[in-house]
Structure 1
């Protein structure tokens, strides 16, 4: 681990990103003390205001605690952090973090399965119409090669989440979207089994429309688990 000087642009962001990565990669461990503000200024060759701003952001992200008389102490992000931290572990241009990706896949399977089940119990006409429209766009996307199938998949599950009337699931999907859509190409393997035949989405829609929560959940679970399996197998071989 070596703290490096930063470029003379977006200084506080670069300080935040560098220390954040050290913490998330566990090069700084819970209970470790960061170098003092003065030491960080010297190591990074920047002014104190940029360092202070970065430290405040790190504290807001619950990665460190600034203690009077002690300085900045690293927290256990797995205990103190929120779900939004996942977007810092998986970013465009960075090597894929296997643990974070596997965790996201597992969460996506569990959450989307329950979302579909609840949607079948609670969905109303506006969301039914929206789902039908998305399924129609998927069919056009496959037939004519126009449109973004992965974005439509996300909108399909997001619409189900709205229909589930569960705010926690919506907020979770908002965080996942910040990770997923900017890196959609990296996740494209998840859709090789359905991109040519989106019939399963029609089946899920019909189960939700008919109020069959068990079938809606089962179909969604099978859809996502197969995509996860394909993706993780490719990632493990890479």
Structure 2
């Protein structure tokens, strides 16, 4: 499903070590939160054919709320002294791991007309299936969590305020690997989300994304020792 981008806030801490006059290494912890609060209609989906989306389902919608990520990154930075007066520009790259959680919900409602139901049409009891499915709905909501590899490109500059204190302004582009999480449809087709009556086999759904990324601008205070 396509969702528009969202703004957010981030905060973190960095510990670094100078390896060379122009090269620094960092360990960085960053927490970022963005509030999407967006819904999007399903345009296509694996396992859902075009006939079902256009006729059988009169509502197929997903919702994305708060997305939070915590990343631990190792960065290598290259300083470029002497080209911007007292400021020292730098570029860098990093890699690490991120833990992301996302508030997600989905709702699917079927046409109330049994003639519009295409699920099970090739079954011997197709009419019974159509009557049972007509007018049913499925919905679910969960805060899903996943751990992904993360990568980033960095650029910015340091500006000295005192002998041991400087301001760090940096922009980053951070990319995360695919996110995947599960949730339970409750209700599922307007009944409890179980295959068996004793509840021993609940029905789970899986939501996954492609790689996703964000661009962030940060301002920090750095102490040199």
Could you say which TM-score interval applies, normalised by the shorter chain? Answer: under 0.3
TM-score relative to the length of structure 2: 0.19
Q: Determine which structure has more spread, i.e. the larger CA radius of gyration.
A: 2
**Structure (1/2) with the larger helix percentage:** 1
